[in-house]
Amino acid sequence: MSCPDCDCIEIGDVVEHKMNTNVFGIVIGFMGSIVIIRVSPTLDVLQFHEWELQAVDDDEIPPPDAAAKPPAEADNVIDFTKERKLRKTTTTRGAA
């Protein structure tokens, strides 16, 4: 459900202020031509006129098939739960 004049902004869209792009958030409601957004990262609820806001494109969302790929194994990870020789005379047990 959106306001009749907002043909491009709907509830759940990410929007930013046109004059100050540091103010952005998610649309959580409408009161006529007033758009209510929950601002990030403070989670404050602010109200703006619809002409003060613009929708933010979500270009960085990965395609659905990319999310299904498992992450690559890192070869430089050390498992400290296993015993390892540090020097010629000492070894570790558990998290040293």
CATH of the domain at 38: 2.30.30.30
Is 73 within the bounds of a domain? no
Is 15 within the bounds of a domain? yes
Is 51 within the bounds of a domain? yes
pLDDT tens-digit profile of 1-48? Answer: 444 444 578 999 999 999 998 999 999 999 998 999 999 889 999 999
Q: How confident is the model at residue 73 (pLDDT cuts 50, 70, 90)?
A: low
Count CB-CB contacts under 10 A for residue 30: 20
Residue 64's SS3 state is helix
Is 50 within the bounds of a domain? yes
Is 23 within the bounds of a domain? yes
The model scores a pTM over 0.75 = no
pLDDT tens-digit profile of 46-68? Answer: 999 999 999 987 666 566 665 56
- For residues 1 and 30, the answer to whether their CB atoms sit within 8 Å is yes
What is the predicted pLDDT for the residue at 2?
A: 45
- For residues 71 and 77, the answer to whether their CB atoms sit within 8 Å is no
Is 41 within the bounds of a domain? yes
Is 70 within the bounds of a domain? no
Give the structural domain span for 29. Answer: 1-57
- Domain count across the chain: 1
Does residue 95 carry a pLDDT above 90? no
Q: Say which range, 35-39, 74-78, 89-93, has the weakest mean pLDDT.
A: 89-93
Is 19 within the bounds of a domain? yes
What is the predicted pLDDT for the residue at 82?
A: 77
